[in-house]
Amino acid sequence: MNRQTILVVEDEPNIAEVIGLYLRRADYDVVTLHDGEAALAWLAANKPDLVVLDLMLPRVDGLEITRWLRSRGNIPIIMLTSRRQETDRILGLEMGADDYVVKPFSPRELVSRVRAVLRRVAAPGEDVVPGPALTCGDLTIDPATRLVTVAGREVTLTAREFDLLWWLASHPRQVFTRDQLLDHVWGLAEYIDPSTVTVHIRRLREKLEEDASNPRYIRTVWGVGYKFEP
């Protein structure tokens, strides 16, 4: 099999170098570019197997490149974003990116995301969490399509919100601490503030619950953590 080519667009030279190093070690061919304009010019003439794309880039930013790529096909994109940007821009990212990694990230984690996305592209459906849709009350969660509906109405969740909901719902009544949820759902090597979990729980409730202050599905177990009540 031919080696797969990955385009890395990252303006911080140290990060670009580390990413390149780890990806080459994982047997990918890597092309590294440092600004958005150069990336668009290169992409006009080349078709990589995947693009690792920093969100904040000089001249043309990652979101614009994502839009440009999506208007021309479906080359997989993994977006690099900083935690501060995540809250505001994740919805935009999800319109185009296949996955995103929050800086600072471990290069190993990025390589495993790259592998996972490429595997998903090569064999669609295989990498998706197996199992049938889960229905509780008026809530339906389908791990195959990652669709969530409440009383038949489709709810838009970010990838992480979906993963968190799926983890809780597929372990009904089991209580998880925030650290456990970080391990299972985030699973990254670097430190993430446990309040990230609180924020995601709140957003899930706002999106899913009839009364977010008196949740029916995602319950707080005071002093411990959270559980899903089917």
> Which is nearer to Ca ion, 103 or 120 (by Cβ)?
103
Nearest to 109 by CA among 47, 29, 18, 199: 18
Contact pick of 5, 11, 18, 209 for Ca ion (by CB under 5 A): 11
Smallest distance from Ca ion to CB 22, Å: 18
Closer to Ca ion by Cβ: residue 31 or 175: 31
Q: Which stretch binds Ca ion (CB under 5 A): 9-17, 44-52, 119-127, 188-196?
A: 9-17
Q: Hey, which residues between 40 and 99 contact Ca ion (CB under 5 A)?
A: 54, 56
User: Which of residues 56 and 75 has its CB atom nearest to Ca ion in the complex?
Assistant: 56
Report in angstroms how near the CB of residue 61 gets to Ca ion at its nearest: 9
Q: How near is the Cβ of 136 to Ca ion at its closest, in Å?
A: 42
**Nearest-approach distance from CB 10 to Ca ion, in angstroms:** 7
Sign of torsion over alpha carbons 168, 106, 124, 64: positive
- Candidates 5-13, 98-106, 173-181, 190-198 — which segment interacts with Ca ion by CB under 5 A? 5-13
Size of the site for Ca ion (CB under 5 A): 3
The smaller minimum CB distance to Ca ion, of residues 56 and 136, is found at 56
Smallest separation (angstroms) from Ca ion to the CB of 70: 20
Confirm or reject binding of residue 109 to Ca ion (CB under 5 A).
no
Write the DSSP assignment of 62-103 as a string of letters.
HHHHHHHHHTT----EEEEEEHHHHHHHHHHHHTT-SEEEEE
Helical packing angle, 195-208 and 159-169, nearest 10°: 80
Reported as half-sphere exposure (CB side, CA atoms, 13 A), residue 225 has a value of 16
Sheet with 134-136: strands ordered across: 134-136, 139-142, 147-150, 153-155
Q: Residue 72: enclosing H or E segment and its boundaries?
A: none
**Nearer CB in complex with Ca ion: 38/56:** 56
Which residue is at the shortest CB distance from Ca ion?
Answer: 56
The whole-angstrom separation of Cα 205 and Cα 150 is 12
* Token output for 164: 């968190």
Nearer to Ca ion, 54 or 142 (CB): 54
Host H or E run for residue 29: strand 29-33
- Tell me how far apart the alpha carbons of residues 227 and 57 are, in angstroms, rounded to a whole number: 40
Do 49 and 76 touch, CB atoms closer than 8 A?
yes
State the residues that interact with Ca ion by CB under 5 A.
Answer: 11, 54, 56
